[in-house]
Structure 1
Amino acid sequence: MKIGNLELGNTPLFLAPMEDVTYKSFRWMCKKFGADVMYTEFVSSEALVRDIQKTREKMHLFEFDRPVAIQIYGHNIESMVRAAQVAEESQPDFIDINFGCPMKKIIRHGAGAAMLKDLPKMQQMAAEIVKAVSVPVTAKTRLGWTAADMPILEAAERLQDAGIQALAIHGRTREQLYAGEADWTLIGEVKNNPKIRIPIIGNGDINSGEKAKRFLDETGVDGLMIGRGAIGRPWLFREVKHYLSTGEEFPQPTVAEAVDVLKEQMFMNLEWKDNERSGILMMRRHFAKYFPGLPNFRELKIALLRAETNLEVDEILVKIVAQYGDQQLDFNQSSLK
């Protein structure tokens, strides 16, 4: 698979852009376990145009990231064009346009998945961004707005005509948010549309190697994108690659092994952030996902989520290892869709 002149190999695995998730330490862990392509957290075009420092910091890239994209979102074409030019200054390998975020704070202004209700504007925005930057431009979107309004086939053709060089599709509508099961049928229809020449990347519900292989076989997509399934489980990329190459499941880590991974991610956070408390608070979403299915774990989980210092976290992790260290984790849960 190629994006522009960027050669990514066969069936590359992409880490989906996620707000407050795909920052430096999490990207590092996912790369370590086999993710091929990174994305930053998505950034607001309006904030970039206004030169908001916190937003600019999200675009800070590292050599381990590469190949890496910066994803931008917004509803105003002029601001999006300028934001793409600002993003290009950070030297990403490509720029991605967010046409898929379903959250209210994004769509209420007409950005993200709301662009699916105005395909001509979506196409115009993509075309103007393509013309304004020298790096490849890609896009990420959903099947549609509701089950009765799923224009992904037309949207894909329009975006290709606009000049985007790859399209990632999440197999849900905006109305679904993240509920129910992802529908890969339409993703397959886009991929197998004879008019489509650009790479298609499938996204949604990849939480095991077996599922990844099944979705790949059913659709023939060029790449696979993993999002929420990797939170608290960055080794999911290793599992998927192992299954795709061998047809066998990679053993889940023990609790003690998972604690070592968590500590590495947390240590990088603490090195990266200005103060200890900020580094710990950013980890809470990950803490909540690291230890599924452990019996009588509620009190330790609550303590982990309330911890505000490295010392507190370390003390809790020592207790977790002492109580559960040799137990193998079980991620076969519907909540990981």
Structure 2
Amino acid sequence: MTSLFDRHQLGALALPNRIVMAPMTRARGTADGLATPSMATYFAQRATAGLLISDGIAPNRVGTSNPNTAGLRTDAEAASWRQVTDAVHINGGRIIAQLMHGGRVGHESTTGLRPVAPSAVAVPAGVFTPAGPRPAPVPRALETGEVAGQARSYAEAAVRALDAGFDGVELHGANGYLISQFLSTNANLREDRYGGTVANRIRFAVEAVEATADAVGADRVGIRLSPGAGLWDVAEPDHPELYAALLTELDRLGMAYIHLEATTDEAVMLDLRKRWDGTVIVNPSSWLARGDAAFGPRPTDRESADRWLALGADLVSFGRAFLANPDLVERLRLGVPLAEADSDTYYAGGDAGFIDYPSYRHAA
């Protein structure tokens, strides 16, 4: 039986275990989009993971969703990430840059630009801005001729990411951001080649991946998906058919991996596993029964990780468990208790609740 502590070959990367640190926004960059020494410490502390995935990183200015996040929009921003990738590599780790275009999940006060999206449909919620949460604006619908440029923005950022020392990139196609908006039926009301049918709605995702694979090599490219999740008010009523079609198209490109959130029925997840010939990362933290829990009912733990490995996942990603447990790999190996993160410091800025969580100490 496959174990979390078995090795795995991911493209050119030899992973010492099958534990992945999931991408999580921590808002510890500078106001002008640079990575910081504290971010280098944060990722280096967790470098025993088989693979680290960065915070969501904006590929261009109009795609910036959150303030105080380090970007890959310019060469200067890319250069600031070198301290992070160097620290991870010195500590024996491997790190992927997650490229996150927010689409309509953004605000002019953050970027100076009106957000763009498949259609002029606002998120019925507040979005983060430098002045705190504000109602989401109505985005500008992209003209047909503009869509390819936004798809290429992932490829352009990927080139900068590899120049900055990242070992590869993950396109954020999940959780209601731009790729997810194109996949939907309510944020995407287009009547051109990017809207309407399943074949049209998956087109932007495929073009973004193709452009990125052409730019940096398919074996350095992954994508994260959240079938049927409904986050940021994205509707996918036909998501079993939608994601089956998407994976069929992506599977021919020779990508490094797909990263699936367990946001749909298990039967759909298993069908998607069968449709994908390469590496599958699963994040078991289900969003299906959110209830009153702001961050989902249950973080990934050893039990859910082992279960998904038995169901066919190659790697398992842990999010919240990594926040308060920089030594998560060793804690899972030894079966010792996991510390719980302070949710008040998730996005608070500063080093508290970021780089000050201790490793486990055995009682004398």
**TM-score computed with the length of structure 2 as normaliser:** 0.49
Trace 1:196-235 onto structure 2 (pairs within 5 A). 196-206=253-263, 210-226=267-283, 228-229=285-286, 232-235=298-301
In the alignment, what sits opposite 2:324?
A: none
Superposed CA deviations along residues 48-79 of structure 1, whole A, max 9, x for unmatched, are 627374x5554342354233233451332224
Query: Cα offset for 1:93?
Result: 0.5
Counterpart residue type for residue 215 of structure 2: A
Counterpart residue type for residue 68 of structure 1: L
Give the Cα separation in 1 of the matches to 2:21 and 2:27: 12
In the alignment, what sits opposite 2:125?
A: none
Give the Cα separation in 2 of the matches to 1:125 and 1:78: 9
Residue 232 of structure 2 is aligned to residue 166 of structure 1: no
Query: Cα offset for 1:155?
Result: 0.8
In the alignment, what sits opposite 2:244?
A: 185
Q: Kindly indicate whether the alpha-carbon contact (under 8 Å) linking 2:152 and 2:212 is maintained by their aligned counterparts in 1.
A: no
Query: Cα offset for 1:172?
Result: 6.0
Give the Cα separation in 2 of the matches to 1:106 and 1:52: 27
Q: Kindly indicate whether the alpha-carbon contact (under 8 Å) linking 2:43 and 2:84 is maintained by their aligned counterparts in 1.
A: yes
* Count of aligned residue pairs for this structure pair: 231
Counterpart residue type for residue 338 of structure 2: Q
More helix by proportion, 1 or 2? 1
Counterpart residue type for residue 192 of structure 1: D
Give the Cα separation in 2 of the matches to 1:52 and 1:89: 11
Q: Kindly indicate whether the alpha-carbon contact (under 8 Å) linking 1:43 and 1:72 is maintained by their aligned counterparts in 2.
A: no
In the alignment, what sits opposite 1:244?
A: 312
Q: Kindly indicate whether the alpha-carbon contact (under 8 Å) linking 1:201 and 1:223 is maintained by their aligned counterparts in 2.
A: yes
Give the Cα separation in 2 of the matches to 1:89 and 1:281: 29
Residue 154 of structure 2 is aligned to residue 122 of structure 1: yes
In the alignment, what sits opposite 2:81?
A: 84
SS at match of 2:312: helix
SS at match of 2:36: coil
Change beyond 3 A, Cα 1:61–1:72:
farther
In the alignment, what sits opposite 2:14?
A: 7
Change beyond 3 A, Cα 1:129–1:113:
farther
Cα root mean square deviation, aligned: 4.4
Change beyond 3 A, Cα 1:192–1:59:
closer
Superposed CA deviations along residues 230-268 of structure 1, whole A, max 9, x for unmatched, are 8624232122123339xxxxxxxxxxxxxxx9x9333x6
Query: Cα offset for 1:103?
Result: 7.8
Residue 181 of structure 2 is aligned to residue 145 of structure 1: yes
Give the Cα separation in 2 of the matches to 1:190 and 1:244: 21
Give the Cα separation in 2 of the matches to 1:9 and 1:186: 32
Instruction: Give unmatched runs, 5+ long, in structure 2.
Output: 1-7, 61-72, 118-146, 174-178, 183-187, 195-200, 287-295, 314-331, 347-364
Q: Kindly indicate whether the alpha-carbon contact (under 8 Å) linking 1:199 and 1:222 is maintained by their aligned counterparts in 2.
A: yes
Q: Kindly indicate whether the alpha-carbon contact (under 8 Å) linking 1:18 and 1:42 is maintained by their aligned counterparts in 2.
A: no
Query: Cα offset for 1:201?
Result: 0.6
Give the Cα separation in 1 of the matches to 2:102 and 2:161: 19
Instruction: Give unmatched runs, 5+ long, in structure 1.
Output: 20-40, 246-260, 270-278, 284-337
SS at match of 2:160: helix
In the alignment, what sits opposite 1:18?
A: 24
In the alignment, what sits opposite 2:94?
A: 93
Query: Cα offset for 1:188?
Result: 1.0
Give the Cα separation in 2 of the matches to 1:173 and 1:218: 17
Counterpart residue type for residue 224 of structure 1: I
**TM-score computed with the length of structure 1 as normaliser:** 0.53
